[in-house]
Amino acid sequence: MKSLILTLTAVAIVAGSASAGDVTGKITLKGTPAPEKEIPVDPTCGKLQAGKKVMTRFYVSDATGGLADCVVYLEGAKGGAASDKAVVIDQKGCEYLPYINSAQTGQPIRVLNSDPLMHNVHPTPAVDGNKEDNKAQMAGGKPLDFAFTKAEKFLRFKCDVHPWMFAYVSVFDHGFHAVTGKDGSFKITGVPDGKYKLVVEHRKGGKVEKEIEVKGSAKADFTIEAK
């Protein structure tokens, strides 16, 4: 009996690995966006930045044009990796890091406070069924967990104590999503073979999409134009 279970498990693993792969690619920014603006932070938060200016983060791109903070997902997909592991957002220097995130419905979104001062964490969802909340978090306070039951793009988190602090979480009802890194690259893992619509959304740059076919893996690059 034991050997039968082991055999079936092995078969399942092999079968799974044969039909599920990664979707990778890179998003490149085209054009020149409006310059980022300096945020007038208060003196206490200014000290935490050690003289560094706090700027808006509307278009974050590297020297090669790789565009960070794009949400990439397979539209209409079902399933995907389990979502037990929390998406972690830290408050550091009176900024939310990372600025753009993605999560699955029901997945914990854990907000930390690494600052030596207090914040309030105030998610402001716009989709019915996702609950607005507002919690105080003292310096060194316990992490705060949030979760949302409905899919929603760019669900805003804000701090009303420091009214320039924002983070966004795109919530999906499947596990096939990612956020581009500093170089504009992304990787969606565990995608079963098949045809999909791959969508890229940037808060300011808008939305682009492409039909892709995954056969073991797939690669797709996009260009987003600065608006």
Partner 1 sequence: MPQTAEHLWLHRFAVLTALATLLLIGIGGLVTSHGAGMAVPDWPNSYGYNMFTFPVSMWVGGILYEHSHRLAGSVVGFMTLVLALWMNGRPAAKWLRWGSVVVLALGLVASTSAKVKLDNVLFLVGTGVAGFGISFVWPRHEAVSPRLARFGLLALVLVIVQGVLGGLRVTALADWLGIFHGTLAQCFLVLMCAIALVTSDWWARLKAESPPVAVPAKVRRFLLITTLLILGQLALGASMRHQHAGLAVPDFPLAHGKVWPATDTISLETYNRSRNDHREFKPITARQIHLHMAHRIGALVVFGHVLGCLLKLRRTMGAAHPVAKAAGVWFGLICVQFGLGIWTVLSNKAADIATLHVLVGAASLVTGALLTLLTAAWSGHSCPLPACGQERPPHAPGAGL
Interacting residues toward partner 1 by CB under 8 A: 34, 37, 39-40, 42, 44, 56, 58, 117-118, 120, 122, 124, 126, 132-136, 138, 156, 158, 160-164, 166, 203-206, 227
Q: Which is nearer to partner 1, 114 or 134 (CB)?
A: 134
Q: Which is nearer to partner 1, 23 or 61 (CB)?
A: 61
The minimum distance between CB 182 and partner 1, in angstroms, equals 21
What is the 8-class DSSP label of residue 132? P
DSSP string, 3-56: HHHHHHHHHHHHHHHHHEEEEEEEEEEES-PPPP-B----HHHHHHTTTPPPB-
Three-state SS for 70-99 is CEEEEECCCCCCCCCCCEEEEEECCEEECC
Q: Which is nearer to partner 1, 166 or 185 (CB)?
A: 166
Would you say 169 and 130 are in contact if contact means Cβ atoms under 8 Å apart? no
The minimum distance between CB 226 and partner 1, in angstroms, equals 10
Evaluated on CA atoms 115, 202, 181, 171, the torsion sign reads: positive
SS3 2: helix
The minimum distance between CB 130 and partner 1, in angstroms, equals 12
Question: Could you check whether the bond before residue 98 is cis, i.e. omega within 30 degrees of 0?
Answer: yes
The minimum distance between CB 76 and partner 1, in angstroms, equals 20
The minimum distance between CB 170 and partner 1, in angstroms, equals 14
Q: Which is nearer to partner 1, 20 or 164 (CB)?
A: 164
Q: Which is nearer to partner 1, 23 or 54 (CB)?
A: 54
